[in-house]
Amino acid sequence: MIKKILVITLIGLSLAFFLAGQKASGQEPRGQMQQGNLRRNLVTLRALRMTQVLELTEQQTAVIFPELNRAEKEKAELQRQLALEIRNLRQKIDSGKSTDEEFEAGVQKIRELRHNIQAREQAFEDFLFSRLTPVQKARYIIFSLEFNRVLMERAQRLRQAGQKIK
């Protein structure tokens, strides 16, 4: 039953990302599309590992994964917008033609998006923690830290290797 919930949730998640990617494909550069794939895969991998580490029961899986799915869809959209705003801000700085008002608007938009992402993430974590045992909460914190650390370190190494080759 746990497997069934997992498969349905994760396939649903993939599909939602896939449709969002199709919708945005006409507007966004190839890099953004690739990051859509990357995010979806990261979220899927994180969900799979989390299931193992937390040793979720069937009841927990049944309530946590649909909420995870909802939270991820919302955050993915916010992250996509944030990436676009950051790109715009870079372009504004590089061009040197933007006004203070335009900069201010860009900065405000980015801050707002970032706040919304953090708020959504916090809301999911609150929901999650209301369903986990104390040991599972402790495991979740350490799991998050290690998972994110590995992501960052691997990305840094890739970047360094890429720079050396160039």
Partner 1 sequence: MKCADYQKLISDRMDGTLSPAGQKKLEAHLKTCQACHFYEEELKGIEAEIRKLPAVEPENLAVLEGELRGRLIRAEAESRIHKHKSWGMKLAPAWAAGVFLVIAVLYLLVFNRPAERDQGLDLASLMSFEDSYLTLTQTLNSDESLNEIYNEEILNNIFEEAKYLNLEDLVNTEDYQEQIINNNSDINLLIENNGLSEGL
| 83 vs 105, beta carbon nearer partner 1 | 83
Structure tokens at 76: 């993915």
Among 1, 26, 30, 99, binds partner 1 (CB under 8 A): 30
Say which residue the tokens 């946590």 belong to.
64
Question: Between 104 and 157, whose beta carbon lies closer to partner 1?
Answer: 157
Mapping DSSP onto H, E and C, the string for 39-67 reads HHHHHHHHHHHHHHHHCCCHHHHHHHHHH
| CB contact set of 124 (below 8 Å; sequence gap of 6+) | 67, 68, 71
φ, ψ of residue 133 to 5 degrees: the values are: -80, 165
Q: How far is the CB of 99 from partner 1 (least distance, A)?
A: 25
Residues 101-130 that bind partner 1 (CB under 8 A): 114, 117-118, 121
Find the part of the chain contacting partner 1 (CB under 8 A) among 38-46, 59-67, 97-105, 131-139: 38-46
Q: Are 13 and 46 in contact (CB under 8 A)?
A: no
Query: What sign does the CA torsion over 128, 134, 140, 145 have?
Result: positive
Among 60-68, 101-109, 127-135, 156-164, the segment contacting partner 1 (CB under 8 A): 156-164
Q: Does residue number 46 form part of the binding site for partner 1 (CB under 8 A)?
A: yes
- Closer CB to partner 1, 100 or 126, in the complex: 126
Q: Does 148 bind partner 1 (CB under 8 A)?
A: yes
Q: Which two tokens stand for residue 11?
A: 């396939």
Instruction: Judge contact between 55 and 136, C-beta under 8 A.
Output: yes
Residues that bind partner 1 (CB under 8 A): 3, 6-7, 10-11, 14-15, 18, 30-31, 34-35, 37-39, 41-42, 44-46, 48-49, 51-52, 75, 79, 82-83, 86, 114, 117-118, 121, 141, 144-145, 147-149, 151-152, 154-159, 161-162, 164-166
